[in-house]
Chains A and B, each alone.
Chain A
Amino acid sequence: MRPPETFGPPGSPERGSGGTGGERPREARGGLGPRRCRAGAALLPARLSTGPLDDTDLALQRPGILDADRAPSPAPRLGGEISEPGVRAVVFFVRPMQLGRLRRALAEDRTLARAARLAVVVSGETSLRPPPKALLVVDRLRAFASGFGMRAPRDHGPPVGYAIVDRSGLVRYRTLDPGVAQRLGEVKTMLRDTP
């Protein structure tokens, strides 16, 4: 297995727009069978509002509670000070095209990096610089996504979301969230609840 690459300190020029990550293309209507449409006609608006980056089980997406669907598990070591005992960490998972938006959101945010170590795991090569005060890791084979227990989205591609690691090095929260760059406040809410 090819080991993931860890990017060093910021230095390379930022290229490309990369800011379309939070936008969620609408799911094709063909995905709903006629029988299911009839049975759950009232649910249609919710169905149509899901995108390819959403969880196949929306009940497990952004549950808002620690240890929602599984017991705490040891976090893989990403390098740097991430996942070290005594330090909480937020590990974002994005695809290369979402990195620009997340990078801007983290650059504008003043409190998250003070409350926890930050890491961004990108599923492919990127020429963008790492977000400020965050470790950037390339995870082409989704080894870290799997290690953190991230679920696969509806398009079966790499996950877009985040995981929270508590001070004892256990993963306590993991969720897909295609719009995480616009919802850092929600990340902080979950981080406050994390021991």
Chain B
Amino acid sequence: MTVEALLYLSYQAEDATFHWFTHLFVGASAALLVMAVIVARTRRPVRLPLLWPVLGHLAAALPDALFSRGIAHERWMDLFLGHVSAHALPGRNLSWYALFLAVVAIYLAALWRRVPARP
């Protein structure tokens, strides 16, 4: 939460909170998908579940850190979870938000299906 708060403040200082949300939803969704696959295959919850979405967000937002260092965005930066193309999704952040909620549901479904109830 502290990392996310610091990230948010850094985007807010640049009048760019819209982009914070975009990369949060993209990064966290990618992380949750990976977590869901791991849960489905191992039948165990992942360790440090809150850390994964944060790492996903950091990966998705890395080009913005480069931008603040004076490096403009390039198309190859889509390697960072579609950093550039993510903004082209119709519906913008509302669509990413809906996708994020869907992925959360997928992850929770994977948890409930695969994790045996404890005695």
Partner-B contacts on A (CB < 8 A): 24, 36, 39-40, 42-43, 45-46, 49-50, 57-66, 178-179, 183, 185, 188-190, 192-193
A59-B87, A65-B84 as given contacts; A43 in contact with B97, CB under 8 Å: yes
**Chain A to chain B contacts (Cβ below 8 Å), 6 pairs:** A40-B97, A57-B92, A58-B18, A63-B87, A65-B74, A189-B70
The answer to the question of B21 belonging to the interface, with a C-beta cut-off of 8 Å to chain A, is yes
Q: Which residues B53-99 have CB closer than 8 A to chain A?
A: 64, 67, 70-75, 84, 87-88, 92-94, 97-98
The answer to the question of B16 belonging to the interface, with a C-beta cut-off of 8 Å to chain A, is yes
Q: Which residues B1-47 have CB closer than 8 A to chain A?
A: 12, 14-18, 20-22
Q: What is the bound-complex CA distance between A50 and B15, given in angstroms? A: 8
Q: What is the bound-complex CA distance between A18 and B59, given in angstroms? A: 41
Q: What is the bound-complex CA distance between A49 and B14, given in angstroms? A: 11
* Residues in A neighbouring B88, C-beta threshold 8 A: 59
Tally of A-B Cβ pairs under 8 angstroms: 61
- Name the residue of chain B whose CB is nearest to the CB of A179: B15
Which 6 A-B residue pairings sit nearest by Cβ, starting from the closest?
Answer: A193-B72, A65-B73, A59-B87, A58-B18, A64-B73, A46-B17
Interface size class of B (residues with CB under 8 A): 20 to 34
Q: What is the bound-complex CA distance between A66 and B19, given in angstroms? A: 17
Please tell me if the beta carbons of A45 and B72 are within 8 angstroms of each other in the complex. no
- Name the residue of chain B whose CB is nearest to the CB of A50: B18
A39-B94, A42-B97 as given contacts; A192 in contact with B18, CB under 8 Å: no
- Least CB distance, A55 to chain B, in whole angstroms: 10
* CB < 8 Å neighbour of B21 from A43, A61, A62: A43
* Residues in A neighbouring B84, C-beta threshold 8 A: 63, 65
* Residues in B neighbouring A185, C-beta threshold 8 A: 70
* CB < 8 Å neighbour of B70 from A43, A66, A183, A192: A192
Q: What is the bound-complex CA distance between A65 and B82, given in angstroms? A: 14
Q: What is the bound-complex CA distance between A188 and B69, given in angstroms? A: 11
A65-B72, A189-B72 as given contacts; A46 in contact with B93, CB under 8 Å: yes
Please tell me if the beta carbons of B72 and A192 are within 8 angstroms of each other in the complex. yes
- Name the residue of chain B whose CB is nearest to the CB of A42: B97
Most A C-beta atoms less than 10 A away, residue of B21, B64, B94, B98 = B21
* Residues in B neighbouring A62, C-beta threshold 8 A: 16
